[in-house]
Every structure is written in structure tokens, then in C-alpha cells.
Chain A
């Protein structure tokens, strides 16, 4: 059965800090890894990664995939209070299997 494990489960930092969120996975047939941000409602898409070693960037957020070691990281630099959310990692193709999420809290 496909499995996704995220760590840490919860993280509290001060505004301006840099954070790294981790996602490891075990899947029978890897197609892609996706990161979503979930505030109070719908998860919103951040990144999709399919190739090892290629960093995806969007502003202060970046992510990279290591298909050999079966993990991905999501980095957020110069964090802001608006980055407070649950960050979800998912793997799959036709359907996505999600991890438990990392709850990130940014204190002013």
C-alpha cells in the first residue's frame, strides 16, 4: 500500500525564519509528488515534482525531489504570518495519496 510520511507534524517559528518541511514516500509506481497548502478550507496547489534533482521555485517557496532516497523537501525562506497553514505532500497519478500534513505556525 502506498504510504506518505511527513515531518515534523507541527512547527512553530518566528516571522523571518527559514523552514524545511520533509516528505518521504513508499509507492509501487511513482508518477509524481505534489505539495499543497491548506489554510481553513480547500488545499491549494503549490508544486508538482516528477524528476529528481530539479528544484521548483515560486517566490519564497521552493521544493526538490530525490527519487533515489524517496523524499522531497519544501523550503520557505523569510517566513511571513500568511505562511501559517498545513502543508500537505501527496504522491500518485490517477489518485493522490496524502501524508498527514505539517502544521506550520509563524509567530510575529
Chain B
């Protein structure tokens, strides 16, 4: 296992098109996270899954964004009707925690990201 993999690494699209990003987490990890990072800012939380269940979504995630993790392994993040403001790096991360309401710390391992440019 070589870590968290994301595909594609770069995507250029025209405004109004749909895009989909894929994330393959570390195989032993049961949690998967999506973050968005714009230039000069830290990553912003979008959503996360434990196994196949989506446990939390940020209010940043408008109805144009949808994420799935159908079999509890890889995940997809789809953006419909892209806007120029969607241009950012989309980072995926994974971790292993035991229990749904983990009270302990949680070290996330990040992928290299998918950079989206909307023209």
C-alpha cells in the first residue's frame, strides 16, 4: 500500500461542466475525508465517511457537491455545474479510528490532491 491515491491530479474544465474526483484511501483505514484548499489558505473540511456512512457534511458543501463511498473503500467527489469559485485543490485523507464516536486523537494521512481549474 503506497498511501492515499487521488485521481486525476489535475483537471481543467469549463464553467458549467461536471467533474468527478476519485480517492483510494489506505486499505486498513475506515475513515475518509475530503478537504478543499485554496491558494494561501489551510485545508477546509468538506465531508467525511466512516466505512460507507457519510457522518458529517460542511455547510461549505453546496447541493452541487456530492460525495459517495459506496463500498466503504474508495470515494468519489462530484461537482456539478462547476463555477470559477470551485477552482481549488481537493484533498482526500484517511485514518483509522475505532468506534463511531471516537474520543481520541485522529491522525489524518493526506493524498497529493486533485487540482481543479474552472475556466
Contact = CB atoms under 8 A, between A and B. Distances in A.
Interface of A: 4, 6, 31-32, 34, 36, 41-45, 48, 50, 88, 90, 92-101
A31 B42 CA distance: 19
Nearest to B106: A93
Interface on chain A toward B: helix, strand, loop, or mixed SS?
strand
B119 to A, nearest CB: 23
Contacts of A4: 42
B104 A41 contact: no
Given A31-B104, A31-B105, A42-B112, A95 B42 contact: no
B102 interface: yes
Give the size category of B's interface with A. 20 to 34
A50 B107 CA distance: 12
10 contacts: A6-B42, A34-B105, A42-B113, A48-B107, A50-B105, A94-B97, A95-B56, A96-B106, A98-B35, A101-B42
Nearest to A9: B40
A34 B97 CA distance: 16
B110 interface: yes
